Structure 1
Amino acid sequence: MSDIIRRDPRTEWIARNRLHPEHDAVLAALGGGASSAEWMGPNGVIRRDPHAVGFIGPNGIRRIDRSGVQSASGASAVRRESAAAPKRQAVTIASPAFMIAVVGDMPGGRLSAHDRDVLGLARQLAGADGAVLLAVFGDMREDGLGEAGVDRVIHFTGQEVEGYAPDARLAALAGVEREHAPRHWLFPDSPLGGGELGRRLAARLSERPATQVWQVAGDQCTGRGSAGSTDITRALPRVVLALAECAEPVADTVHAAEPMALPSGLPTVLRRIEDLGAVAVDPSGVALAEAEFILSAGNGIHDWDGFHHAAKVLGATEGASRVAVDNGFMPRHRQVGATGTWVTARVYLSVGISGAIQHLQGIQQCDKVVTINKDAGCDMVKRADLAVIADSGEVLSALVELVEGSRKEQRNAA
C-alpha cells in the first residue's frame, strides 16, 4: 500500500454542505462528531466550519446563525432536538438587586431579532441577581416577552408617545431613571429609533454612551469606530447602544415579564413635532435590501400574471430565485440570495422555491419565513417558520380572494 494521502473530493464537499443528507455521517467519520464544527482534513490539518454557531471569525465577531440550520445538522434535525429538549426553566426574580433597562425598537409592536439580541445582552449583564426591565411605547402585540428574557415591563401608552415622539419618550425614560435607577441602559443602535433615543437619554443623564457595541466582556465593551474599520474597547458605561448579534438571544429560560406601574409625576410634554405617518410607497419600487415584506417566486411558479397580481394585492415587494431570473421571468435586480441581494425582511414569503444554499444564505436575516411548496422535503420547507404544502397557484389565488373580500367588507362597513 502507498503512504500517499489521497483526497476524497466528494466527502470534502459533503462536509462543507450543511444541507446535504449525509453531512452528519461524514463529519462523524472524519472525526469531528455530528455536532462539531471541526474535523481532520486529508492532509492532517484541522478544518473549521466558519458557518458554525458561536464561531469566532478572524475579525473577532461571533457568528449567530438565524437560518435555523445548525453547522452540523439540517433544520429537521434541529426541530427534532428542540422537540425532545426539556422545557425551559421558569425564572422569577422577586427582589432584584438592580435593574438593567432595555428600550427596544419593537416595529409593529413585536420584538425584532435585534431587540432579542439586546435582551440577551441585558440578561448577561443582569446575571442571577439583577432583573431585565423592558420599556415599551405604544402598541404592543408581543406575547413572548418572558421567553426573550424580560423580568419587568413598563408599557407607556397614549397619543403623546405614539409615532415619532422623542421628547415625550425621553421624559418617560427620565421617570424610569428617577424611580428605578437602572445600572445600565441598553438600546439597539438602529435607525428605527433606538439609536436616536439612546443618544438623547445619554445627553440627559450627562453620560458618554458606548455606541456600535458588538461585544461585552466583564466590565469592558467593544464597539465599532471609524465607519466600522476600527474596534474601540472601553469601560462599560451606563448607556450602551448595541449592534445586532451583540449576544446570544435567551434560549433556555422563561422569565416572568411582570407589568410594573408607570413612574409617578410624569410631566406633560408639549409635542412640537407632528408625525404624519408613513409615506405611501409603491412596493414595486422598493429595493429588496430595504423591503419589509417580500413575495418571492421560484421555478414552481407557472402563472406569472397571477403572481404579479398577488404581490400587488398583498402590498409585497417582488423577489425571485436565481432560476426564475435566469429563465427570464424576473429582472436581475430582483434576485434574492448570496449571488443576488441579501434581504432583511420582516416577512419573507417564498412560492415555488426549493431552497438552494445560496438562496438560504440570502434570507438568513429575515424575521419570519413562510413558504408554499409541493415538496415537503425541500430545504426551503426545512428552513421556513411556516410551510404550506400545496399547489402555489391555488394558495395564492385563495389568499388574494381572502384579502380582497376582507377589504370589500371594510369598505361596505364604512
Structure 2
Amino acid sequence: MNQILRRDPRAEWIARNRLHPLHGSLQPQQATWQGPSGVVRKNPHAVGFMGPNGIRRIDRSGAQQGGNLRRIAQAEPQLPLRSIPAPTFLVAVVPDLVGGRLTSHDRDLLGLARQLAGEEGAVLAIVFGEHKEPAFDTAGVDRLLTLSGAQYNGYAPEQRVQALQTADTEFNPRYWLMPDSHDGGGELGRRLAARLGERPATRIWQLKDGWCQGRAGAGQHDLTQPLPRFILAAAECAEPVDDARHEALPVTLACPVARTLGRIEDAGAVAVDPAAIPMAEAEFILSGGNGVKDWPLFHQVAVSLGATEGASRVAVDDGFMTRERQVGASGTWVTARVYVAVGISGAIQHLQGIGACDKVIAINQDPACDMVKRADLSVIGDSTALLQALMNAVNAWRRGAERNAA
C-alpha cells in the first residue's frame, strides 16, 4: 500500500485565506471548549488529543498536509440567489463571447451593468448563436436572450444590428452596454448607436454619480461626460460579480427579426501562422521553461496544437527561444485564453506576466511549485513523456475527424 502523503496546494491556500468562502470548512476541529456550566470539554476525535493513558492521538489521514481536504476544497460555495421578478428597467449587455464563453472583459462589463441596475433593475444579456458558457448566473445575468440561427453565424454585423434593434423596440432598455474591443463589440455598438440615432460614450472605465470617464487622446487623457444611453466600456471597467447568483431566466422576442439583405459576405476564417502572432495578442500559448528537455518535440507539439510559442526567462537566457518570446514582467504581458506552462516553476515575474490569462495549465514534476498553485489544471509528470502523449492524442483525433469527414 502506498504510504506517501500527497499535498493539495489549493486546499492549503484556501486554509490560509480567511476571505475564501471555504476557509472555515478547512480549519482543524476545535480540541477544547468551555461549556455553559464552565466545565472545559475535550474533543476525543481531534488531532493531538491526549487520552487518559497518556497516549496522544496521531493523524494518519494526511489532514495536516491537506491530503484529505481535496473533496472539501473542490466543493463549490453556495452563493445566495438574487431574484428580480418584476424589474423596473433593464440594462442590456451584448458580450463578445469569444470561443463561446465569457471573457474577462465580458465579466467586467456585466459587473458594470450590475452597478447601473442597482436594486430595482435587471441585467439582460443578449447572446448570438450557440455558446458554451454555463455560468451566466454567477456572472450577474438576470435575463438571457439567445438569438440563434444561421444568419448570425460568422461575421454578420448587419443582421445582428437588426436583431438588436428589434430587442430595443420590445424591451426598451434604459442602458446599452457593449465591450469596446476588437472582438466585435466595439463595431457592433457603434453600428447600433448609429442605427438608433444615439451617440455612444467610448472606452469608458469608470461611472460615478451620473457621469462617466473614458480614455481619450490615445489613452493619455480622461474625458468626463454625462452618462449616455449607449456605453462602450473598456477592460477592467468594474469588478466582476462574485457575491451572489442570479436567475438568468431565458426570454424570447415576441416579434420575429426581419431578414435583411446583407451587403457583407463572410468567406470564413483565414488561416494564420501561430508563430507570426504577437505574444500580446495570442489566444493560445504553449510556453516552455527549464523543465523542457526535448525542444524539437516542444516545437512539434506547438505546431500540432496550433499554439503560439512562449518561454520563460531561463529558457531565453539559455538560447532555446528568442527574446521576443519571453513571457513575464521582464518580457511580454500576455492575455491568452489558454496558457500552457511546460516545465516552468513560476517565478514572480512570470506569474505577473500571465495574470490576465483566463485558463492556465501547468505541466511540471514539482507539485509544490508556484506555477502549479497558480494553474487551473496541473499535470504532474515528465514533460517529454507528457508532450509526446499529447501530440499522439491530437494526431489521433485529427485522423478520426478526417475519416468522419470523408
Question: Which range, TM-score by smaller chain?
Answer: 0.7 to 0.9
Does 1:115 pair with 2:106?
yes
Instruction: Give 2:180's aligned residue.
Output: 189
Alignment check: 8 A CA contact 2:205 2:233 kept:
yes
TM value normalised by structure 2: 0.81
Q: Which of residues 237, 242, 246 in structure 1 aligns to 2:228?
A: 237
CA 1:138–1:359 in 2, change beyond 3 Å: closer, same or farther?
same
Measure how far apart 1:227 and its partner are. Answer: 1.2
Instruction: Give 2:322's aligned residue.
Output: 331
Gaps of 5+ in 2: 1-9, 25-76
SS at match of 1:182: coil
Instruction: Give 2:35's aligned residue.
Output: none
Q: Which of residues 243, 246, 249 in structure 2 aligns to 1:252?
A: 243
Q: Which of residues 283, 294, 311 in structure 2 aligns to 1:320?
A: 311
Q: What CA deviation, in whole Å up to 9, does each residue of 1:83-128 have, x standing for no partner?
A: 3375211112111111000001111111000000000000111111
The residue type equivalent to 1:83 in the other structure is L
Q: Which of residues 23, 30, 48 in structure 2 aligns to 1:84?
A: 23
1:19-30 to structure 2, matched below 5 A, reads none
Measure how far apart 1:379 and its partner are. Answer: 1.1
CA 1:325–1:314 in 2, change beyond 3 Å: closer, same or farther?
same
The residue type equivalent to 1:283 in the other structure is P
After TM superposition, the runs of 4+ consecutive aligned structure 1 residues lying more than 3 A away are 73-80
RMSD: 1.8
Instruction: Give 2:204's aligned residue.
Output: 213
Measure how far apart 1:291 and its partner are. Answer: 1.0
Paired with 1:263 and 1:203, the residues of 2 have a C-alpha distance of 24
Paired with 2:21 and 2:313, the residues of 1 have a C-alpha distance of 32
Paired with 1:345 and 1:219, the residues of 2 have a C-alpha distance of 34
TM value normalised by structure 1: 0.80
Alignment check: 8 A CA contact 1:75 1:382 kept:
no
Paired with 1:337 and 1:79, the residues of 2 have a C-alpha distance of 29
Bigger radius of gyration among the two: 2
SS at match of 1:118: helix
Instruction: Give 2:349's aligned residue.
Output: 358
The residue type equivalent to 1:255 in the other structure is H
Instruction: Give 2:30's aligned residue.
Output: none
Q: What CA deviation, in whole Å up to 9, does each residue of 1:145-174 have, x standing for no partner?
A: 001000111111112111111111111011
CA 1:194–1:248 in 2, change beyond 3 Å: closer, same or farther?
same
Measure how far apart 1:262 and its partner are. Answer: 2.4
Does 1:291 pair with 2:271?
no
SS at match of 1:279: coil
Alignment check: 8 A CA contact 1:374 1:389 kept:
yes
Paired with 2:140 and 2:253, the residues of 1 have a C-alpha distance of 21
Instruction: Give 2:33's aligned residue.
Output: none
Instruction: Give 1:172's aligned residue.
Output: 163
Alignment check: 8 A CA contact 1:155 1:262 kept:
no
Alignment check: 8 A CA contact 1:175 1:263 kept:
no
Instruction: Give 2:27's aligned residue.
Output: none
The residue type equivalent to 2:175 in the other structure is H
Q: Which of residues 112, 116, 137 in structure 1 aligns to 2:128?
A: 137
Measure how far apart 1:310 and its partner are. Answer: 0.7
SS at match of 2:20: helix
Paired with 2:167 and 2:89, the residues of 1 have a C-alpha distance of 13
SS at match of 1:223: strand
Measure how far apart 1:74 and its partner are. Answer: 6.7
Paired with 1:275 and 1:265, the residues of 2 have a C-alpha distance of 23
CA 1:341–1:249 in 2, change beyond 3 Å: closer, same or farther?
same
The residue type equivalent to 1:174 in the other structure is Q
SS at match of 1:81: coil
The residue type equivalent to 1:296 in the other structure is S
Measure how far apart 1:247 and its partner are. Answer: 0.3
SS at match of 2:123: strand
Instruction: Give 1:411's aligned residue.
Output: 402
Does 1:377 pair with 2:316?
no
Does 1:391 pair with 2:330?
no
Instruction: Give 1:199's aligned residue.
Output: 190
Alignment check: 8 A CA contact 1:76 1:382 kept:
no
Q: What CA deviation, in whole Å up to 9, does each residue of 1:6-59 have, x standing for no partner?
A: xxxxxxxxxxxxxxxxxxxxxxxxxxxxxxxxxxxxxxxxxxxxxxxxxxxxxx
The residue type equivalent to 1:206 in the other structure is G
Gaps of 5+ in 1: 1-68
Paired with 2:297 and 2:21, the residues of 1 have a C-alpha distance of 38
CA 1:329–1:184 in 2, change beyond 3 Å: closer, same or farther?
same
